[in-house]
Each structure stands twice: as structure tokens, then as C-alpha cells.
Amino acid sequence: MVTDLIDLKALDDERGGLVAIEEFDVGFEIKRVYFIFGTQPEVIRGLHAHRELKQVAIALSGRCTFLLDDGRERQTVVLDDPHRGLPIKSMIWREMSDFSPDCVLLVLASEPYDEADYIRSYEEFREAITATPSDPCRATI
Ligand code: TYD
């Protein structure tokens, strides 16, 4: 498995939902927040990996599907619950698709925006993964 959904701190009561997120919950200092909405259902977003950036994605409303690929394994995760977050560590190729019309996807990020941190070619991603000496399993791919 590439990643696993985390349960966020739900403070829902009879008045409605409330979810609180602190740095401790996501495992990194949150330096940037962005959200994606109004995505057409046929659109595929992402199509990149990050060299260093760590993120947690949360579907605040609606639904979308993440394809995650760590170079060894591919995993598909449906995000459709604002009480759950999807951690995405560095060097994970991601593709987001199947957005529902009401999908609002919130992303918490460990670093400010830096285009130099993106790997936008899948071929380059695979080469970078294979060249990573810290994980001997990856050298055999
Ligand atoms: P991108 O990360 O490629 O979007 P997605 O992965 O959802 O398809 O970002 C789209 C454009 O917006 C790209 O030109 C970079 C820019 N951008 C910023 O300037 N700041 C940001 O925080 C983000 C996430 C993107």
C-alpha cells in the first residue's frame, strides 16, 4: 500500500460537522493551503510527483479519486469523507480524476509553492526513483 487514510479530529455534534487539523495530526508544519473546485468530471489533474513536498488531501465536499504510485506499487483511493485525510509523502506520482461536480479538494502542504520541486514527467519520476540509493528495493525496478 502506498499510503493510508488518516482519521481527522471530528468534533461534529447535533449542529453539524466540525473537523480540526493541527500540525501534529498531519506530521509536518503546514506552510501552504490550497483548494481545488469546479473540476470537470472528465479532467485528470496532478500528473506529477514532488521531490520534497509532503501533503495531506481532504475532500471537503463531494468526491474524487486519487491514483498514487511510489514506483513499486499503484494504489487507487476514493476521497469522499471530510473526516479523513490522504497523506501523500514526497516522491509519489499522483493523478486525480472522477471529480464530482461538488468536489472541493483541500490540500495541506509542507512547503511554499516551488515549481522546481515538481517532477512533471512520469519517465523522469521513474528514473529518479530508481536512482534513489536510500531504498535498495527501488534499485531493482
Ligand atoms: P498544479 O499543481 O499543476 O495543479 P494540479 O496538480 O492540481 O493539476 O498547479 C496548477 C498551476 O497552478 C501551476 O501553474 C502551478 C500553479 N500553482 C501555484 O502557483 N501555487 C500553488 O500553490 C499550486 C498548488 C499551484
Name the active-site residue from 21, 28, 36, 48.
48
The pLDDT mean for the chain works out to: 94
- Residue ID of nearest Cα to ligand 1 atom 11: 115
Give CA–CA dist 9/27, Å, rounded.
14
What pLDDT, on a 0 to 100 scale, did the predictor assign at position 73? 97
Burial class (CB in 10 A: 0-12, 13-18, 19+), 81: middle
Which pLDDT tens digit goes with each residue over 48-76?
999 999 999 999 999 999 999 999 999 99
Sort residue 47 into left (φ over 0), alpha (ψ -120 to 50) or beta: left
What pLDDT, on a 0 to 100 scale, did the predictor assign at position 140? 43
Tell me the CA–centroid distance for residue 111 and ligand 1, in Å.
Answer: 13
What pLDDT, on a 0 to 100 scale, did the predictor assign at position 132? 74
CA distances from 6 to 25, 85, 123 (A): 9, 5, 30
Enumerate long-range contacts of 17-22, CB under 8 Å, 24 or more apart. 17/82, 17/83, 19/58, 19/82, 19/83, 21/56, 21/85, 21/108
What pLDDT, on a 0 to 100 scale, did the predictor assign at position 36? 98
Tell me the CA–centroid distance for residue 49 and ligand 1, in Å.
Answer: 12
- Provide DSSP, 20-85: E--HHHHTS---EEEEEE---TT--EEEEEESS--EEEEEEES-EEEEEE-SS-EEEEEE--TTEE
pLDDT-derived band at 135 (thresholds 50, 70, 90) equals low
Position 136 pLDDT exceeds 90: no
Asked if 50 is an active-site residue, the reply is no
What pLDDT, on a 0 to 100 scale, did the predictor assign at position 20? 98
For residue 97, the surrounding DSSP H or E stretch is strand 93-97
Ligand 1 residue neighbourhood (C-beta within 6 Å): 32, 34, 36, 45-46, 48, 113
- Residue ID of nearest Cα to ligand 1 atom 13: 115
Which pLDDT tens digit goes with each residue over 95-134?
999 999 999 999 999 999 999 999 999 999 999 999 876 5
Q: Given the CA of residue 94, which atom of ligand 1 is nearest to it? A: 6
What pLDDT, on a 0 to 100 scale, did the predictor assign at position 54? 98
Q: Give the lowest-confidence range in 40-49, 90-99, 128-137.
A: 128-137
